[in-house]
Structure 1
């Protein structure tokens, strides 16, 4: 995974949330009652036409996730066709949770963020007189430095002639509101959170919003008609100079452990906790006063006839497969409906070959095909019934409090101070 870390060494204990941050942890009773509420909510969301969040496929997309060997599957995914009631518009998202309740945070963001974005887009475009499939006039992205210090009050939706600016503000605002919702939700997000790499595609226009270290890549053809990979997002980790500078200005600490020099992590000012291996995330409120932000990088791409598919995936894929390998796997898949599954299976094999002593991470993949020649998904109808039956199962499972061992520092001493047994 690469987000949270477990240490067997002696380190500073987990600071009391009430004493160091001034926030109380939610009770387990509230969390369990919340799970039933979201089971019902998830069932209602499942009934929305064109919305898929479990393994399956449609004419335009393939999605697949498989649990690793680190506890609950903390990866979540979504494909939503005719997004915002706009014919041909598609929303895709991948969400990689971490921490004791990361699986709950990831699902909450999966369910709520698209609704907020859809509502903002509807308001900002005002009327059907502003077509979503028109050519966007501005190319570019919000880089780490320009987005770092945006706060909720500074992110406002406004209508202008620049459609990309409108879409960009909608992404920024929806991400900000989503994080505020998590702060007051019954899910304990003190040291749990999630990444999010999301996109909206309408016609030739592709807008991407990214927080964390999940990734989006494009499969496109070069001049020789060979398939090549183009990375569409930046892995927002604390080893990036701009990200580290922001965190350090806010008194957070950024360093790698001696026995893990390749992984830079974020730590509290006065405690070796939590050791988060990303610079932006939803949740993780123990670090929000110390440089961690949920502001997305937003970028735009004008699609061409040479662009064939976009792949969104969690770092369970990217830790063991290169961009080029993933693009080749999807391009050579026997059927589009199985493309995401084939990528996950290849990643699992690679985990076992490259890291035989390590636990396989959760993996999740969404493949969005950009042309109109997608083969029919013969299992679509079956998957729809299967998904409906499994809706309640996702949220009614017992919360084990399993932290991904390589995401956040949960030292034995810290766990003992918090009344928790070490994993």
Structure 2
């Protein structure tokens, strides 16, 4: 499949006659099919080398027309968190958001690589899946399906909804697989003992599609029947102590146990060595554990947004370690301005780290706040919060020192995460209620068992490695 890109040019989409469901004829980023080249859509976009200047794409502290993002380095070395908001992702009403939390010696490079490449791979996968599903030449995807007019038969509408969900599920699965494959083959980035989490969403009209691995989390602030704000947890923290995750890892001969001095933190270990001690069950990279149960296959879910749903918050676990879902929703909903919500949330997390864990090093924090009504503060309100138009414009030039090929001016070093929470402290925090859809990725599970369990158990996250594996020629017999 060939491709060319023009993210700023309008596309020409047509609609079927007779009131049937939309069947657009172009990919709404300006993708034009071509049989004369073997380059994929994703490869061609990356080859342009102008990704930081793509319109309506922000990846450092700032705001867009409907969101704000903010990250702050912790006390453990270089900031290994990355984030992105990409409006007009593939259509006027499509937004991509993601938060990525790196770990290991080169975790910051892995997180940035995933931040830049994963959205493009998702576009490419979605395009190829739609081509195969429809058997047509070119396609685009609109935010909301138009139901068949003048007909009481809802079966076609239901099947269209199912096809859309199936399309996105396959696209997320393929793009995550392709992302991990690229990291494995990257010549200048060592991902053997480094990796990254990922929580990524696409809001397309009233549809919300989510794919995620690791323990970064997405929640939603929504009004309940009484008009009060409530927290809805959208994703599951995929930790090794989840029963189905532990079962998969053990079947692959990996080991899952907690160290004596941190009994509440389960980790993944090699079968023949007490290393590396990864405190998550799924991640990009971490290839030393890929044969032993740590996978990059995402959980996928889809929900329909309603008028009660106000905003979505994506954040790395540096926030969730010290703030509950309810506290996060309260902080964001009561922020002095929408454009400052992400920064206020990070500041609140930093204060909680100092109060609750004064002897521990604060973790990196990254936050994306997406407001579902598409409204943001005025420019004057934004400048009052310490941001300026000039600063916002400079965000498109990229972060100083960033490089996907390992060319960062700062020497990467292994930063060990030592966050420990007592059982009493762990029990004092409660996660919000889950609203999960049927998930894919690791076999069957008892209906509702694991998802409810993971939504209620507030387990401390320690996402970095305890130590690098020490491989020897002689290994104990399996």
Alpha-carbon shift at residue 398 of structure 1 (Å)? 1.8
Choose 294-303 or 41-50, whichever is displaced more: 41-50
Structure 1 contact 189–284 (Cα < 8 Å) conserved: yes
| Deviations 1:157-210, CA, capped at 9 Å, x for gaps | xx9961100000000000000000000102100000000000000110000001
Measured at CA, do residues 399 and 246 of structure 1 come closer, stay the same or move farther in structure 2, by a change above 3 Å? same
Task: Report runs of 4+ in structure 1 exceeding 6 Å deviation.
Answer: 40-43, 135-138
Q: Which residue of 2 aligns with 1:224?
A: 226
Q: Which residue of 1 aligns with 2:375?
A: 373
Q: Which residue of 2 aligns with 1:33?
A: none
Structure 2 contact 127–139 (Cα < 8 Å) conserved: no
Q: How many corresponding residue pairs? A: 355
Are 2:69 and 1:63 aligned? yes
Q: Which residue of 2 aligns with 1:397?
A: 409
Structure 2 contact 143–206 (Cα < 8 Å) conserved: no
Output aligned runs, 1:342-421, within 5 Å.
342-377=344-379, 378=382, 379=387, 381-395=389-403, 396-406=408-418, 407-410=464-467
Partner of 2:344: helix, strand, or coil? helix
Q: Which residue of 2 aligns with 1:123?
A: 128
Q: Which residue of 2 aligns with 1:174?
A: 175
Partner of 1:83: helix, strand, or coil? coil
Alpha-carbon shift at residue 42 of structure 1 (Å)? 10
Partner of 2:112: helix, strand, or coil? helix
Find the aligned partners of 1:400 and 1:131 in 2 and give their Cα distance. Answer: 42
Bigger Rg, structure 1 or 2: 2
Find the aligned partners of 2:400 and 2:222 in 1 and give their Cα distance. Answer: 39
Find the aligned partners of 2:237 and 2:146 in 1 and give their Cα distance. Answer: 27
Structure 2 contact 219–313 (Cα < 8 Å) conserved: yes
Q: Which residue of 2 aligns with 1:14?
A: none
Output aligned runs, 1:18-417, within 5 Å.
44-84=50-90, 86-126=91-131, 127-128=138-139, 131-134=142-145, 162-185=163-186, 186-377=188-379, 378=382, 379=387, 381-395=389-403, 396-406=408-418, 407-410=464-467
Partner of 1:298: helix, strand, or coil? strand
Alpha-carbon shift at residue 120 of structure 1 (Å)? 1.9
Partner of 1:178: helix, strand, or coil? helix
Structure 1 contact 266–279 (Cα < 8 Å) conserved: yes
Alpha-carbon shift at residue 382 of structure 1 (Å)? 2.3
Alpha-carbon shift at residue 410 of structure 1 (Å)? 1.8
Structure 1 contact 55–383 (Cα < 8 Å) conserved: no
Q: Which residue of 2 aligns with 1:155?
A: none
Alpha-carbon shift at residue 392 of structure 1 (Å)? 4.1
Measured at CA, do residues 129 and 173 of structure 1 come closer, stay the same or move farther in structure 2, by a change above 3 Å? closer
Find the aligned partners of 1:246 and 1:312 in 2 and give their Cα distance. Answer: 27
RMSD in angstroms over aligned alpha carbons?
A: 2.4
Structure 1 contact 57–380 (Cα < 8 Å) conserved: no
Q: Which residue of 2 aligns with 1:36?
A: none
Q: Which has the higher contact order (CA 8 A, sep 6+)?
A: 1
Gaps of 5+ in 2: 1-45, 132-137, 148-153, 419-463, 473-478
Task: Please report the TM-score for the alignment, with normalisation by the length of structure 1.
Answer: 0.79
